[in-house]
Amino acid sequence: MIALDHVSRRYGTVAAVDDVSLTIAKGGFVALVGASGSGKSTLLRMVNRLEQPDTGSVRIDGQDVTAKPPALLRRRIGYVFQQHGLFPHMTVAANIAIGLRIAGREVGNRVDELLDLVDLRRDVAERMPDALSGGQRQRVAIARALATEPPILLLDEALGALDPVTRDAVAGRLVELHQRLGLTTILVTHDMAEALLTATRVLVMEKGRIVADATPAQLVRGEGGTAAQGLMAVPRHQAERLAALQA
């Protein structure tokens, strides 16, 4: 579904992404994990042309992403980021439907269907974003991203601003939607526990390069190398402290 071939992106003398080659199969759920500045968000944004690689190419279904205008490309890609990006002057319904209207597609009952999909009451449709909780706003952002039925979903720290309980609930819903809709999903996160519990494949980035490519089970077993296991130290330490409380 998605292929990056020797992709690099520099900002002055800093290589944000450094000669990365990667393929993601249709239906895959991949987490990009790494410290701030490791290049994971830059890599994600090159998939939908919010960033242009200095070298290399990005392909979707075998076609270079530069072969179509960005607007047409992005109709096939749902994109959700940390601060949800809802238009504050528009109702929830208008926010969800905006992609459909831009594409010239019938809205019909689609807003109600999408609210059902993300477990929000239909009467939320006429509210303004600032009348919603953070978790509700993020669910609306996910509904908007899925409105045009894109086969690809990109999540850029999409859960990072949520409280732990809401974050866990929304992450679980994302996994259900990924499976039910047959999406190809890439999640950028700095939280290794979140990556382990949502994705089926975890890519660890460091200084613009992918330094580990493993399943959650492999990482739990201690595989993936030094950088990966360094990120694993936090959830391991938390698990050990919880276990100690039961002793």
User: Which residue type occupies 92?
Assistant: V
Helix 164-181 vs helix 134-146: crossing angle, to nearest 10: 20
Confidence at residue 40, expressed as pLDDT on a 0 to 100 scale = 93
Encoding tokens for residue 20? 């990365």
- Please state which CATH number belongs to domain 2-76+150-246: 3.40.50.300
Confidence at residue 161, expressed as pLDDT on a 0 to 100 scale = 74
Per-residue model confidence as pLDDT tens digits over 137-187? 988 999 999 898 899 999 998 887 778 888 888 888 889 989 999 999 999
Whole-Å CA distances, 81 to 191, 207, 235: 15, 22, 24
pLDDT confidence of 55, banded at 50, 70, 90?
very high
Per-residue model confidence as pLDDT tens digits over 16-46? 999 999 999 999 999 999 988 899 999 999 9
**Percentage of the chain with pLDDT > 70?**
100
Which residues have a Cβ under 8 Å from the Cβ of 89 and sit 6 or more positions away? 128
Per DSSP, the residues of 132-197 read S-HHHHHHHHHHHHHTT--SEEEEESTTTTS-HHHHHHHHHHHHHHHHHHT-EEEEEES-HHHHHH
Mean pLDDT of 193-219: 95
User: Looking at the whole model, is its pTM more than 0.85?
Assistant: yes
Does 100 or 212 have the greater pLDDT score? 212
Per-residue model confidence as pLDDT tens digits over 213-244? 999 999 999 999 999 999 998 888 888 888 88
Mean pLDDT of the chain: 91
Domain boundaries along the sequence of the chain? 2-76+150-246
Confidence at residue 117, expressed as pLDDT on a 0 to 100 scale = 86
Q: Tell me the C-alpha distance between 243 and 247, whole Å.
A: 7
Which residues on adjacent β-strands are paired with residue 189? 33
Q: Using an 8 Å Cβ cutoff, are 82 and 155 in contact?
A: no
